[in-house]
Amino acid sequence: MRVTNRMMFEVAQRQTAAARDRSIDAQNQVATGVRVAHPGDDPTAAGVMVTQNVAIQRLDTIDKSIAQASSEVQVADGALQGVSTLIARAQQLAVQLGSDNYSAAERASGAQEIADISAQIGRLMNTQVAGRYIFGGNVDNTPPFDATGNYLGDTVVRQVEIAPGLLGNASVRGDQAVKGVGVTGGVDVFAVLSSLSTGLAANDGATVRASIDGLNQGTNQISAALTNAGTMLSAFENAQQIGSVAKEAAQKSLSNASEADIFEATSNLVQAQQSLESALAVTAKTFGLSLLDYLK
């Protein structure tokens, strides 16, 4: 091919420009660590980045939601443990004072303690977390139990999303635990305690003894509620572990899609720089050769 001056200059211009362009690209990748900034850089990877960015954001929020729900259920569990302890004390008093060996005065004293226990159970069942009553179902802005133990909440079990698209229970029904609503053979613990207290005040041994079965059932109800809470906590823990794995996978996928492999990027940079140096050297050499330098 006939080589002309304009051809030499234009080819040199194109080659050095292309080499410099590749060098700048490689330099940007090494400096920023980002491989895909524009969808056109890698359309498939850009699509993956969209889904994984949203997925990571969502998994983060779900993790926080689970942590908060778990905290609430742990508070509920603590409250129910307290109720259980109080009912056990009531059972102990019922068994003890049900014996006719005790005097009316001793039973009257027991009646007062039972009334206190009932009030304490009422307070425990009106436990709040962050200003919300946790045993009232969806009615969380007013106390679910009044002074006489009437239930004012609803029968809804609150749910939260524990994995994308998967809901998990996040509250214990107070009416079920202490009022026996929906429980086969369920009892109203407040009513049983009231009857026990009345029996003790009236020095009525038969009534006192009759309350023992009710308290046993109350204990069973609280145990069931505690088991329920334990199951929820376990489900939360599992969900958090699974979410953590899912988030790690999403981050890895995002990283694979968007980030430059530092070794590959560095290697590309060295290659591009060498290519640029070669292009410049060849250009300088080519331009240096001219018949003008030899004609005298």
Interacting residue ranges for another protein, rule: CB under 8 A: 1-7, 9-11, 14, 34, 36-44, 46-51, 53-55, 57-58, 60-62, 64-65, 68-69, 130, 132, 136-142, 153-154, 156, 158-161, 164-165, 167, 258, 290-292, 295
CB of 46 to another protein, least distance (A): 5
Query: DSSP state, 104?
Result: H
Q: Which is nearer to another protein, 22 or 209 (CB)?
A: 22
Which of 171, 120, 116, 112 lies closest to 145 in space, CA to CA?
A: 120
CB of 202 to another protein, least distance (A): 38
Going by the DSSP 8-state scheme, the letter that residue 293 receives in this structure is G
* Cβ-based nearer residue to another protein, 30 or 46: 46
For the CB of residue 79, give the shortest distance to another protein in the complex, in Å: 17
Work out how close the CB of 171 gets to another protein at its nearest, in angstroms, rounded to a whole number: 8
Determine the Cα–Cα distance for residues 149 and 119; give it in Å rounded to an integer: 8
From CA 259, how far away is CA 203, in angstroms rounded? Answer: 80
Q: Give the residue from 87, 117, 97 showing the smallest Cα distance to 201.
A: 97
Using the CB atoms, write b or e for 19-52: b if 16+ within 10 Å.
Answer: bbebbeebebbbeeeebbeeeeebeebbebbeeb
- Number of alpha helices (DSSP H) and beta strands (DSSP E) in the chain: 7, 4
Supply the minimum distance, in Å, between the C-beta of residue 136 and another protein.
Answer: 7
Cβ proximity to another protein: between 41 and 237 the closer is 41
Closest CA to 75 of 210, 257, 254, 233: 233
User: What is the C-alpha to C-alpha distance for residues 292 and 243, in angstroms, rounded to an integer?
Assistant: 75
Secondary structure class of 3 (helix, strand, coil)? coil
Looking at residue 292, the DSSP 8-state letter turns out to be G
Phi, psi angle pair for 195, to nearest 5°: -65, -40
Give the nearer residue to another protein in terms of CB position, either 133 or 190.
133
Closest CB to another protein among residues 167, 262: 167
Shortest Å, Cβ 212 to another protein: 36
Closer of 165 and 185 to another protein (Cβ): 165
Of 70 and 207, nearer to another protein (C-beta) is 70
Least Cβ distance, residue 205 to another protein (angstroms): 43
**Residue type at 237 in one-letter notation:** E
